[in-house]
Amino acid sequence: MSLLQKVKTRKKNIKLLWGAIESHEAELIEALHKDLNKPEAEALLQEIYPLKKEYEICLRNIYVWSGKRRVSTPLALMGTSHYVLAEPKGKVLIISPWNFPVMLTLRPLFSALASGNKVVVKPSEHTPNTSNVIKKLIESVFSNDTVSVILGGPEVAAELTSQPFDHICFTGGTEIGKLVMKAAAENLCPVTLELGGKSPVIVDKSAHLGNTALRVAWGKYLNAGQVCIAPDYMLVEKKMEGDMVQALTNRIVTMFGDNPIDSEDLGAIVNERHYNRILGLIKAAVKLGAKLHVPGGVLELGVDKRKIAPCILTECTTDMEIMKEEIFGPVLPVLSWESKDEVLEIIAKNPNPLALYIFSSKSRNINFFTENTKAGSTAINEVIIQIANPEMGFGGIGNSGMGRSNGKASFDSFSNLRSFVSASTRFNLLPLTFPPFGRFGLRISRLIRKWG
């Protein structure tokens, strides 16, 4: 099959996938509401819209990405041509999480299909309604030998990762990510890991108060805080701590009303275990001296509804568990600082985060914090939206992940970037340097060394 025919097949597959998403959109939205109490507007913008953009960038670029990528030829290799060809890795596995179960399952599927692979998809067991719809929509357009969907819990994931796939794409927690990587190592299988960590928000006194509160509150309480790149804690310059906490409180009320816990725009915690874990972190911090701020006064509605109100913790210290463990819930710890070195010391207590946010109007401070920290991604005077641009690779560093996803980065991750060299003419310089080494050969070698 020619490359053109292969690309036409891939193009057809991604069109089929997008068509299935559109035809099952209402079912996906309903399932997301059942599993996570996710509002329709949030589902459309955070789950469906990113898939549309991924589809469009794959469709627009698939011929270029799949074709020969010409590279320049050094003088010493004159007479040869060089290029890279992205070939399918083969059979790939996508294991997706529960917090954005539609987007984080189907977005990498676009890239895996665009690069010509056979795919096995393992959606999360924690969002069963959504996983069932995903299985239904995929099976409506693909046979099992193109894309197969396997449902189940940790034992199913463990069995899958032990198999000899050609690439594994996993999105989830760091500890599970380590198990995935360990299993993949047995088969020398490459992995893309999108994990998590404690993503800090640094705020100095020059930051615009209203703009900071607007964006941080949105990013923190989106999906009830169950976002891998959500602001996990805030480091605010001491002089504006009180004003910032008040501005955040006001913004919570603006978004969710006087009684945020009752808002239909507030999502639910995914299950009882996570619900109890988040409440436990809050109560343990309060017991050690943290002050809890709950707009509306009601923190939670009970395990049957699994709703926790957007809240803030002040007077936190780094020895609290809530400052050591990724929260993944709607509570924002706030710590104050007086020197920039304090900020670095606090951030350094945890592994490199998936994201880091800086709110400041001073270039000197922004540069200081970016140059002295490490993170998978960074946003300045913004939060979360760095993941939304498929033109820009997204991923972590160290404990927060490895590899990059989105657009071309995903396409390349699912491809074997095979290098080619071809002798295009009978003459090239290289044989002039072959033994026996005479004066002429030495002279040519010196010329190449200097000018090649």
Residues 6+ apart with CB under 8 A from 81: 70, 73, 421, 422, 424
The residue annotated as part of the active site, out of 25, 54, 194, 241, is 194
Asked if residue 1 has pLDDT above 80, the reply is no
Asked if residue 429 has pLDDT above 80, the reply is no
Q: Is residue 307 helix, strand or coil?
A: coil
* Bigger pLDDT: 74 vs 385: 385
The pLDDT, as a whole number, for residue 423 is 87
The torsion angles phi and psi of 86, rounded to 5 degrees, stand at -85, 110
Mean pLDDT taken over the chain: 95
- 364-412 pLDDT, tens digit each: 999 999 999 999 999 999 999 999 998 999 999 999 999 999 999 999 9
CA distances from 212 to 116, 216, 222, 265, 428 (A): 43, 6, 15, 21, 61
- In this structure, which long-range contacts are made by residues 70-77, counting pairs with CB atoms below 8 Å and at least 24 apart in sequence? 74/452, 75/429, 75/448, 75/451, 75/452, 76/429, 76/430, 76/448, 76/452, 77/421, 77/428, 77/429, 77/430
Residue 443: band (very low, low, confident or very high) from pLDDT cuts 50, 70, 90: confident
Amino acid at 446: R
Asked if residue 432 has pLDDT above 80, the reply is no
Residue 27: band (very low, low, confident or very high) from pLDDT cuts 50, 70, 90: very high
Give the DSSP letter of residue 270: S
The pLDDT, as a whole number, for residue 3 is 82
Among the ranges given (180-184, 242-246, 447-451), the one the predictor scored with the smallest mean pLDDT: 447-451
**pTM recorded for the entire structure:** 0.94
The pLDDT, as a whole number, for residue 448 is 79
- 304-337 pLDDT, tens digit each: 999 999 999 999 999 999 999 999 999 999 999 9
Asked if residue 437 has pLDDT above 90, the reply is no
Residues 6+ apart with CB under 8 A from 173: 195, 196, 326
Asked if residue 269 has pLDDT above 80, the reply is yes
CA distances from 23 to 11, 134, 267 (A): 18, 12, 25
CA geometry: angle 285, 291, 292, nearest 5 deg: 85
- 148-206 pLDDT, tens digit each: 999 999 999 999 999 999 999 999 999 999 999 999 999 999 999 999 999 999 999 99
The residue annotated as part of the active site, out of 58, 169, 228, 316, is 228
Residues 6+ apart with CB under 8 A from 89: 115, 117, 166, 167, 190, 414, 415, 416
Asked if residue 426 has pLDDT above 80, the reply is no
Task: State the average pLDDT over residues 91-116.
Answer: 98
**Residues 105, 96: contact at Cβ < 8 Å?**
yes
Residue 228 appears among annotated catalytic residues: yes
Residue 194 appears among annotated catalytic residues: yes
Residue 273: CB atoms within 10 Å: 11
User: Going from the N-terminus, what domains does the chain have, and what CATH number goes with each?
Assistant: 3-195+399-416 (3.40.605.10), 200-388 (3.40.309.10)
Q: Give one word for 164, left, alpha or beta, with left for phi > 0 and alpha for psi -120 to 50.
A: beta
Task: Round to whole Å and give the CA distance between 94 and 373.
Answer: 31
% the chain with pLDDT above 70: 99
Q: Is residue 260 helix, strand or coil?
A: helix
The pLDDT, as a whole number, for residue 271 is 96
Asked if residue 425 has pLDDT above 70, the reply is no
% the chain with pLDDT above 90: 90
Asked if residue 4 has pLDDT above 90, the reply is no
